[in-house]
Amino acid sequence: MINPASRLNSIELSLIRKMFEVTNPNAINLGIGEPDFNVPENIKEAMKRSIDENDTHYTPNKGYLDLREEITKKFKKENGITTTPEDVIVTVGASEGLYMCTQAFVDKGDEVLLPNPSFLSYEACVNLAGGTPVSVDCKMENEFKLKAEDVQEKITDKTKAIILNSPSNPTGAVMDKEDIKAIADLSIDKNFLIISDEIYEKIIYGKKNYSPAKYSDNVITLNGFSKTYAMTGLRIGYLATTNEDYTEQLLKIHQYNIACANTTAQRGAYEALTGPQDEVKKMVCEFQKRRDLIVSRLNDMGYETVNAEGAFYVFPKIEDENFVQDAAKAGVITVPGVAFGSNGENHVRMSYANSYENIEKAMDILEGMINNG
């Protein structure tokens, strides 16, 4: 056997994906991180037309120009960020964008600040680039929100970047405007990069998303269509930065790895931005109802649960180390919180991207499991 590259020594396969391997066909899956809704019909039709018109050839490396133009309009209108189509790269999901950022800017020995807990891909991508992840505590008493003062304490002369994610996977936390702005100010004063993962920005309840790129040029904004438009399997996202030197370096990674994003998915993405948004609003309204249900039921069971303000996850405090395994045997799939960092210990991530009825059933199962000891 040929030995793998040493950079893989610190990389483990995803605990989230491992939970998908549970073989109970009747289990209710509260582990999966994707909307249970279908792609809106207008987006489907746009992609069908793309195939029928033989629109299946390479696009420009950065993506179709008309799509990038719509992305710049979206940034200006919704995020207060002024970009040009040349600042935008259409990617194979926001995941590719994350990988591009770490490969383009993180060197061996560079420190990258990560919220703890946070999405497990962040640490893996930093490690693959040879960087050193440095965790910043997101405390339950602060509703898991990343605070600027905690970030400032971790900045050193080796700090190269910070990865932000608001709304957050796994906690559903939405950062406050003053913390976003303060971290943006720090990025200027201390000269480090902000990689802002805003993939859940539209799935938010009674709050507003704030983009750090509105306050600093040292920002790469990641976003996509997977969560908002239920296009997870179509793998289509984008990134943008107002610094043309940053764009050139990012394009090197994208060009030699992917060439261009899927043409059909790009046509669907264009329709997603330019077409009606009614289905998005319905989806978010339904997610909020489910959030209210799962938070209420978990708290009633005695599992302290923050009333998450965005995304479609809750992160209850559950100190029973056998809970995830016992729940899976009983018929409810969840994810151990420790998969998302050391501060996830004694927590469990549950996704409410499942039907209201299934969430009710899952809570009944968990309550029965507790009562039966």
pLDDT at position 362 is 98
What share of the chain in percent tops pLDDT 90? 91
How does residue 370 score in pLDDT terms, banded at 50, 70 and 90? confident
How does residue 372 score in pLDDT terms, banded at 50, 70 and 90? confident
Q: Are 205 and 173 in contact (CB under 8 A)?
A: no
CATH architecture of 6-39+278-371: Alpha-Beta Complex (3.90)
pLDDT at position 15 is 60
pLDDT at position 13 is 74
pLDDT at position 4 is 81
Assign 219 to helix, strand or coil.
strand
The candidate with the shortest Cα–Cα distance to 269, out of 99, 89, 36, is: 89
Tell me whether strands 332-333 and 237-240 are parallel, antiparallel or unpaired.
Answer: unpaired
The candidate with the shortest Cα–Cα distance to 242, out of 212, 270, 266, is: 212
Where are the alpha helices (H) located in 7-106, listed in sequence order? Answer: 15-19, 41-52, 65-74, 93-105
pLDDT at position 11 is 78
Assign 235 to helix, strand or coil.
coil
**20-36 pLDDT, tens digit each:** 565 567 899 999 889 99
Note the Cα 273 to chain centre separation in Å: 19
Average pLDDT over residues 57-69: 98
Phi then psi for 349, rounded to 5 degrees?
A: -90, 130
Residue type at position 335: V
What is the CATH code of the structural domain delimited by 41-274?
3.40.640.10
**194-204 pLDDT, tens digit each:** 999 999 999 99
DSSP 8-state assignment for residue 145: -
All structural domains of the chain with their residue ranges:
6-39+278-371, 41-274
pLDDT at 261 over 60: yes
Average pLDDT across the chain, whole number: 95
**128-154 pLDDT, tens digit each:** 999 999 999 999 999 999 999 999 999
Handedness of CA 362, 144, 99, 204 (dihedral sign): positive
Residue 272 to residues 44, 282, 310, 325, 330, Cα–Cα distance (Å): 10, 15, 21, 39, 39
